[in-house]
A and B are shown apart, each in its own frame.
Chain A
Amino acid sequence: MNVEKKELKVAALENGTVIDHIPSNQLFKVVSILGLENCPNSITIGNNLASKKIGKKGIIKVADRFFKEEDLNKIALVAPEAQINIIHDYQVTEKRKVSLPDVVHGIIRCSNPKCITNNEPMETIFHVVDKVNIQVKCHYCERSVSKDEIEIC
């Protein structure tokens, strides 16, 4: 029984991308960062799976889709431990960690209601000021936001 489950978890993709080690409470933020709500490909989402590293984890598998590196790196905002596996012909051909970029375009909503970005049809820009504790600063209103306060738009 157990063995079957394990097989189900790892063996499903022929080609595509697996995003593993997502903290369970951030799983749907990752879905939203990658815009998977509107992705027509077949997608498998697992959540609250046991993880030695982070307690409970989520996992996302997207068939026949290979994301741009800069898009995947945006995940690091909410899931800094996330791991990317690229699958070709059932084989993992690339395995890497996400890493936070210096500047994030879009994705984050500024928490300051008086910020211009919340009042004009425009893209937000955030500078990552602390990559270890994850702190970002709005390019426009200059307000700093820490990891737990980051809102994804």
Chain B
Amino acid sequence: MSDKSKQNISELMDGELSNDCSRFLIKRMQSDESLQSSWNNYHMLRSCLQQEHDAPVMHNLGAQVIGQLNKEADFTESVETNHKSGWLKSLAGAAIAASVAVVAVFTFNQNQVTPGVEPLPIYAKTSEQLVNPPNAAMVRVEQPVRYTRYPSLTPQIQTYLTESNNQPQIPVYYNAEYANKIIIQTRQKAQQNIAEE
């Protein structure tokens, strides 16, 4: 470290160095231990000369403060990690509980299905049901609007409505097992048709 750099530090702390040099020196001091040490010792001389009221001469309190702040930051980080892992644990517990509930619902629904009887489709009745199935055992199947649900309408009106209908399809929910069965049956029929042809 040159005497010029040290003299610059001396002038910097007295507000006697040019702006450009000051900015450059501040940057250098943060990465040069020897310059930092001169900064500290020059300030310690100032401390000693300005010491009042039986105060102890302070030396390099900055290092202690930074050490303490780093310790606290480490502690906070570890607490946050513990907090996060606790949160993950409870989330995992909730996930297990949810899985058990799903299995229970499926088992219950399977018991309810009578073999040979087609379960009735459930139409979306609320805006929420347009997005989410009414219950966990249901699957969403997009279908065109079926006006046969309204037998009071005349066939002409039904035809008109069907033809002029450009609205998005309304989802209909079926029992998951039934929907799978239909899909398998459709595929099997298609395969049979191909084989016959």
Is chain B a partner of chain A in the same complex?
Answer: no
